[in-house]
C-alpha cells in the first residue's frame, strides 16, 4: 500500500510508539484487503467499550495508548448507565472496570457519548460522501445507507487506530465498486414501526453480507429515519449487511447490475412475529438502536398515566435524554427506566431477565446469543401494553 512521506514517518515510529502501532494496524488491514492508500476520515465511532466484551486484556490495551485522537471520535454503548449502574443491578467491581475503560478513552480525547446512534446527537460527524471509520453495525449501516457516507465496519482496534491517525485504509465500502446492489427485494406489504425490524431480520438472514435494494410497494409505506434505522440495524444483526438502498428514499446506488430478486409479502413479515411470541416475557426493553427524541415522545405518550408491572428499560443516548427531560419524567413516572450510555445487549444487567420483549429486529437477533436471554417481538404499542400488564 502506498504511504505518503508523512505516513511513512509514522510507520517508522518517528512520531512515537502509539502512532507507530496504530499505523501498523491500518497498513496490515490495507494490505489484507488490497487498499491502494489511506484516506482521511471525518469522524470515528469506536466499539469495544463494554467491559463485558473487552475484558481485562482490552482495558490494558487501551490504557497503554498515548496521545490524542486526530478527528472527532465517539464511543459505542458501555456495559452500564455510567450514572445509574447500581439501579441496573451492576456490581461494584464491574462498574469500577467499566469506569476505568471510559477514563482510558477520555484520556485519548474520545467523546464519552456512549451511543450507537451518534448521527442522532451530532450533525457534524457525517455528511454525504464523507469517509468515516465507524464500528457499531447499525451505525455503519445508517451512515452508508441513509446519510450516504462511506465506512467499513471497523473493529475496536482499527477504529481507534483511525481515530489516532485520522485516516483509514481505502477499501470495501469506501469504493463505488463495492456499493452496488446485489439483491432486489420487492416488498408487497404495508409496513409500519417494528415491521421494518421484522423485515430486516428476515432479509439479513437471506442476503448475508450482500447489498439489498428495496422496492417497497405498500401503499402507505414510506420509511422515516427511525424506520430506516431499525431496518438497517436488524439486517446488520441477522446478516452482516452494511449498506442497503430503499428506492426513492435513501441516496441512490452508484450503478445497478444483475441482482438476485427476492419477493416478500405481509405473510412473511407476520411469520417473524409468530416465530417470536411474547408469551412468558419478564421484561420489556426498547431503544435498540438507541431511541431518538421522537421515539421517546411516542413511548411517553403510550405510558403516560400508567404503571408498569414488569421491568422496562428505554435505552437512549445521554444527550437525547438530557435534551428531553419532560419525556424522561413521564416515562419514569410509570416505573420504567430510561437508561443512557448502554443497552440490553451490551450490559450484563440484562442477563438476569429470563425473557425480554422488544420491538427491534436487532435485539431479537442478538439477545439469545450475546446475553443468553430469550426474546419476543412486538410493535412498540404491544411492548408498552405488555409492560403495563394489558396483555
Ligand atoms: Fe445499539 Fe445495543 Fe442495539 S449497541 S444497536 S442498542 S444492541
Residues with CB under 6 A from ligand 1: 77, 116, 136, 138, 233, 288-290, 315, 343, 345-346, 362-363, 366
Rounded to the nearest 5 degrees, what angle is found at the Cα of 133, between the Cα atoms of 100 and 245? 130
Helix then strand then coil, in percent of the chain rounded to 5, is: 45, 15, 40
- Check whether the bond before 45 is cis (ω within 30° of 0): no
Residue 5's pLDDT band (cuts 50, 70, 90): very high
Compute, in angstroms, the gap from residue 136 CA to the centroid of ligand 1: 8
64, 107 Cβ separation under 8 angstroms: no
Rounded to the nearest 5 degrees, what angle is found at the Cα of 208, between the Cα atoms of 360 and 224? 40
Compute, in angstroms, the gap from residue 153 CA to the centroid of ligand 1: 15
**Rounded mean pLDDT, 197-223:** 94
Residue nearest to atom 3 of ligand 1 (CA): 288
- Beta-bridge partner residues of 245: 213
R_g over Cα of the chain: 21
Which atom of ligand 1 has the smallest separation from the CA of 344? 2
Q: What is the largest CA-CA distance in the chain?
A: 66
What's the CA gap between 382 and 72, in Å, rounded?
Answer: 39
Compute, in angstroms, the gap from residue 66 CA to the centroid of ligand 1: 29
Distance of CA 161 to the CA centre of its chain: 20
pLDDT (0 to 100) of residue 221: 74
Residue nearest to atom 7 of ligand 1 (CA): 345
pLDDT (0 to 100) of residue 220: 72
Give tens-digit pLDDT for 27-66.
999 999 999 999 999 999 999 999 999 999 999 999 999 9
What's the CA gap between 243 and 137, in Å, rounded?
Answer: 10
What's the CA gap between 204 and 44, in Å, rounded?
Answer: 25
Q: Residue with C-alpha cell 491500518?
A: 26
Reply yes or no on whether the pLDDT at 180 is more than 80: yes
119, 127 Cβ separation under 8 angstroms: no
Compute, in angstroms, the gap from residue 360 CA to the centroid of ligand 1: 10
Helix (H, G, I), strand (E, B) or coil at 366: helix
Compute, in angstroms, the gap from residue 322 CA to the centroid of ligand 1: 19
Rounded to the nearest 5 degrees, what angle is found at the Cα of 225, between the Cα atoms of 263 and 210? 40
Residue nearest to atom 6 of ligand 1 (CA): 288
Reply yes or no on whether the pLDDT at 219 is more than 90: no
Residue 391's pLDDT band (cuts 50, 70, 90): confident
Reply yes or no on whether the pLDDT at 372 is more than 80: yes
Give tens-digit pLDDT for 128-138.
999 999 999 99
Reply yes or no on whether the pLDDT at 217 is more than 90: yes
pLDDT (0 to 100) of residue 229: 98
Residue 174 DSSP code: G
Residue 255 backbone class (left: φ over 0; alpha: ψ -120 to 50; beta: rest) = beta
What's the CA gap between 49 and 78, in Å, rounded?
Answer: 5
Q: Residue with C-alpha cell 430486516?
A: 200
Residue nearest to atom 4 of ligand 1 (CA): 116
Residue 140's pLDDT band (cuts 50, 70, 90): very high
Reply yes or no on whether the pLDDT at 300 is more than 90: yes
Q: What is the mean pLDDT of the chain?
A: 97
Helix (H, G, I), strand (E, B) or coil at 199: helix
Main-chain dihedrals φ then ψ at residue 36, nearest 5 degrees: -80, -30
Q: Residue with C-alpha cell 430506516?
A: 228
Mutation probe of ligand 1 site: the residue of 290, 351, 356 with most atoms within 8 A of C-beta: 290
Compute, in angstroms, the gap from residue 347 CA to the centroid of ligand 1: 10
Residue 84's pLDDT band (cuts 50, 70, 90): very high
pTM of the model: 0.98
Helix (H, G, I), strand (E, B) or coil at 278: coil
Amino acid at each position: 500500500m502506498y504511504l505518503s512521506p508523512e505516513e511513512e514517518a509514522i510507520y517508522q515510529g518517528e512520531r512515537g510508539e502509539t502512532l507507530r502501532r496504530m499505523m501498523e494496524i491500518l497498513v496490515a488491514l490495507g494490505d489484507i484487503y488490497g487498499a491502494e492508500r489511506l484516506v482521511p476520515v471525518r469522524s470515528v465511532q469506536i466499539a469495544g467499550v463494554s467491559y463485558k466484551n473487552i475484558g481485562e486484556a482490552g482495558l490494558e490495551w487501551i490504557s497503554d495508548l498515548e496521545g490524542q485522537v486526530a478527528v472527532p471520535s465517539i464511543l459505542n454503548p458501555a456495559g452500564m448507565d455510567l450514572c445509574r449502574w447500581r439501579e441496573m443491578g451492576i456490581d461494584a467491581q464491574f462498574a469500577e472496570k467499566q469506569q476505568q475503560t471510559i477514563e482510558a478513552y477520555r484520556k485519548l480525547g474520545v467523546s464519552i457519548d456512549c451511543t450507537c446512534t451518534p448521527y442522532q446527537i451530532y450533525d457534524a460527524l457525517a455528511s454525504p460522501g464523507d469517509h468515516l471509520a465507524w464500528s457499531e453495525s447499525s451505525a455503519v449501516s445508517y451512515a452508508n445507507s441513509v446519510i450516504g457516507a462511506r465506512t467499513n465496519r471497523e473493529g475496536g482496534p482499527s477504529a481507534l487506530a483511525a481515530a489516532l491517525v485520522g485516516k483509514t485504509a481505502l477499501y470495501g465500502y469506501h469504493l463505488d465498486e463495492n456499493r452496488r446492489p446485489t439483491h432486489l427485494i420487492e416488498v408487497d406489504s404495508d409496513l409500519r414501526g417494528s415491521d421494518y425490524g421484522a423485515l430486516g431480520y428476515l432479509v439479513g438472514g437471506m442476503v448475508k453480507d450482500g447489498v439489498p435494494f428495496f422496492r417497497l410497494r405498500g401503499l402507505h409505506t414510506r420509511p422515516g429515519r427511525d424506520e430506516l434505522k431499525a431496518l438497517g440495524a436488524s439486517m446488520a444483526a441477522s446478516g452482516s449487511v452494511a449498506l442497503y438502498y430503499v428506492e426513492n428514499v435513501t441516496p441512490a446506488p452508484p450503478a445497478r447490475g444483475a441482482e438476485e430478486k427476492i419477493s416478500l409479502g405481509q405473510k412473511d413479515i407476520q411469520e417473524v412475529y409468530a416465530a417470536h411470541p411474547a408469551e412468558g416475557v419478564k421484561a420489556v426493553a426498547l431503544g435498540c438502536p438507541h431511541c431518538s427524541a421522537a421515539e421517546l415522545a411516542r413511548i411517553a405518550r403510550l405510558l403516560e398515566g400508567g404503571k408498569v408491572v414488569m421491568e422496562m428499560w428505554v435505552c437512549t443516548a445521554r444527550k437525547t435524554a438530557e435534551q428531553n427531560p419532560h419525556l424522561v419524567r413521564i416515562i419514569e413516572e410509570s416505573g420504567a427506566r430510561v437508561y443512557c450510555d448502554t443497552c440490553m445487549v451490551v450490559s450484563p444487567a440484562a442477563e438476569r431477565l429470563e425473557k425480554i420483549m422488544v420491538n427491534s429486529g436487532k435485539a431479537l437477533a442478538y439477545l439469545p446469543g450475546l446475553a443468553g436471554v430469550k426474546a419476543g417481538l412486538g410493535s412498540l404499542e404491544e411492548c408498552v401494553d405488555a409492560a403495563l400488564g394489558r396483555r
